[in-house]
Amino acid sequence: MDIDGKIGIGLLGFGVVGSEVARILVEKSERLAQQVGAPLIIQGILVRDTVKSRRFESLSNLITTNPTDILDSPQVDIVVELMGGEEPAADYLRTALEQTKHVVTANKEVMATHGPELIRLAEEREVNLLYEASVGGGIPIIGPLRKDILANEVTSLHAIINGTTNYILTRMSQEGTDFRTALDSAQELGYAEADPSKDVDGTDAAFKLAILATLAFHTQVVGSDVYREGISGLTSEDFRYAREMGYAIKLLAVARRDEGGLSLRVHPALVPEEHLLAKVEGPFNAVEIEGDLVGRVMFHGQGAGPRPTSSAVVGDILEVARGIASGRRPVRQGTLRNGLSIVPMEELVTQYYARVTVADRAGVLAQIATVLGELDISIASVIQKKATPANQTAELMIMTHTSREADVREAVRRLEELAVVKEIVSLIRVEHWS
């Protein structure tokens, strides 16, 4: 806050989200000033290339390609980072915090990778580091985890936090299209990027889960702690069979605490149709948190897009600015007191659904059942779906009772060695948490 009582904001990045945030700060300036008790003034905007950055003519004099114009400026109280990508963003944020500037960021990759270090740095310098927009677009999730839910011991967190894949899965489910067609449509509509790999392979959801799990379980979690499996192997048959059994297929992000520690995973899962998460459609996101007091609470909304994301960014800016205006020290972040260990994926216990192409002859099921029995995997149901006489093959749909992941992996290995097993077409985990 300068001598006139203005709060200075430096924007790093001026893409679709950056220019939307600038637009809101300018167009709603009077109202925001009233809410804060002091005016918010953009003091600088860092861009990579001044030529490309003409979105907002009236701000053109604030544009710079030199980060120190913002990071070292005494007029900047809050650095708002909307560049995306790990570097140089993480480096800029470190510098900003070291200069005792408050930081607001929407950067999931930075927070999922360098979050714990940056949070400690912010506490040390007594500045705010807020990042509501890094998960779930405009849906309030991080705020509730940091404050409203704080009295709880969180026991589990189940989320759909990647809109691109949820859009693709919704298309595949509703229209029976294959993955490639649904992805093309997502790209046409702007729900998927030109290179969709980080969405499709679960990396983006794993980043977000790491951020949420760190807050929910008070334990340091980074993106690489999260087991991940993408959606590109799913076929339209999987959706049809799942529906017949009363399930939707979702790319689920799950964090769960039990005696062994914290398990963290992102993968396609069969979700019972009556569960609200099964009803999250298109590009929407939802996060369900279970706590010892509150039971289950769910947050649902648009998980991406410049406006929802800006809603969260400006919400964070307002929180920091109100603190500055009232001369307060920032609220302490949640401590990482729990230090839970991460449970290896091999120790997961859940149900599994497998679709297996087998030779269409007598005795096949006995061989498969023997393999599963040796590994203590008990079969809940087997349905023969279709025979293809030309190939002399048939398709079996096997649903197990709860089994250990390690045993199921070993079963897959042994089944693939059987002469009667042609292919294990799908293997999808089944989630029940009621």
| Residues assigned a catalytic role | 208
To a copy of itself, the closest distance from the beta carbon of 432 in angstroms equals 18
- The 265-294 site mask, x for binding a copy of itself (CB under 8 A), equals -----------x--x-----------xxxx
The helix, strand and coil proportions of the chain, stated in percent and rounded to the nearest 5, come to 40, 25, 30
Backbone CA torsion sign across 24, 78, 72, 335: negative
One of 16, 26, 245, 297 touching a copy of itself (CB under 8 A): 297
Task: Check if the beta carbon of residue 39 is closer than 8 Å to that of residue 324.
Answer: no
One of 75, 299, 365, 393 touching a copy of itself (CB under 8 A): 299
Task: Check if the beta carbon of residue 52 is closer than 8 Å to that of residue 16.
Answer: no
- CB under 8 A: which stretch of 47-55, 136-144, 160-168, 406-414 binds a copy of itself? 136-144
Does position 16 bind a copy of itself by CB under 8 A?
no
Angle at 374 between CA 368 and CA 380, to 5 degrees: 60
Task: Check if the beta carbon of residue 394 is closer than 8 Å to that of residue 386.
Answer: yes
One of 300, 385, 404, 409 touching a copy of itself (CB under 8 A): 300
Total residues found in the chain within this entry:
434
CB-nearer residue toward a copy of itself: 58 or 335: 335
Does position 383 bind a copy of itself by CB under 8 A?
no
What gap in Å lies between CA 373 and CA 371, rounded to an integer? 5
Which strand (E) or helix (H) includes residue 96? helix 89-98
CB-nearer residue toward a copy of itself: 6 or 28: 28
Does position 337 bind a copy of itself by CB under 8 A?
yes
Q: 163 Cβ partners below 8 Å, 6+ apart?
A: 137, 191, 282, 283, 284, 285, 302, 303, 304
Pull the structure tokens for residue 402.
């709860």
- Write a three-state SS string for 318-343: HHHHHHHHCCCCCCCCCCCCCCCCEC
Does position 434 bind a copy of itself by CB under 8 A?
no
How many binding residues for a copy of itself (CB under 8 A)? 56
Pull the structure tokens for residue 231.
């959606």
Does position 26 bind a copy of itself by CB under 8 A?
no
**CA 377 vs CA 231, 268, 352, 365: distances in Å:** 25, 21, 10, 14
CB-nearer residue toward a copy of itself: 209 or 324: 324
One of 55, 307, 409, 414 touching a copy of itself (CB under 8 A): 307
DSSP per position, 185-208: HHHHTTSS-SS-HHHHTSHHHHHH
Does position 139 bind a copy of itself by CB under 8 A?
yes
The radius of gyration computed from the CA coordinates of the chain, to the nearest angstrom, equals 24
One of 15, 39, 140, 282 touching a copy of itself (CB under 8 A): 140
Does position 334 bind a copy of itself by CB under 8 A?
yes
Taking the CA atoms of residue 171, residue 174, residue 177 and residue 182 in that order, the dihedral angle to the nearest 10 degrees is 0
| Number of Cβ within a 10 Å radius of residue 148 | 12
To a copy of itself, the closest distance from the beta carbon of 143 in angstroms equals 5
Pull the structure tokens for residue 301.
């909304």
To a copy of itself, the closest distance from the beta carbon of 74 in angstroms equals 24
To a copy of itself, the closest distance from the beta carbon of 218 in angstroms equals 9
One of 161, 211, 312, 343 touching a copy of itself (CB under 8 A): 312
One of 19, 166, 173, 302 touching a copy of itself (CB under 8 A): 302
- CB under 8 A: which stretch of 173-181, 184-192, 252-260, 302-310 binds a copy of itself? 302-310
To a copy of itself, the closest distance from the beta carbon of 174 in angstroms equals 12
Task: Check if the beta carbon of residue 267 is closer than 8 Å to that of residue 250.
Answer: no
To a copy of itself, the closest distance from the beta carbon of 365 in angstroms equals 39
To a copy of itself, the closest distance from the beta carbon of 270 in angstroms equals 19
- CB under 8 A: which stretch of 3-11, 30-38, 112-120, 207-215 binds a copy of itself? 30-38
Task: Check if the beta carbon of residue 395 is closer than 8 Å to that of residue 355.
Answer: yes
Q: Could you say which residues in the range 94-133 bind a copy of itself, by CB under 8 A?
A: 132
Residues lying near a copy of itself in the complex (CB under 8 A) are found at 24, 28, 31-32, 34-35, 37, 132, 137-140, 143-144, 147-152, 276, 279, 291-302, 305, 307-308, 310-312, 314-315, 317-319, 322-323, 326-329, 331-332, 334-335, 337
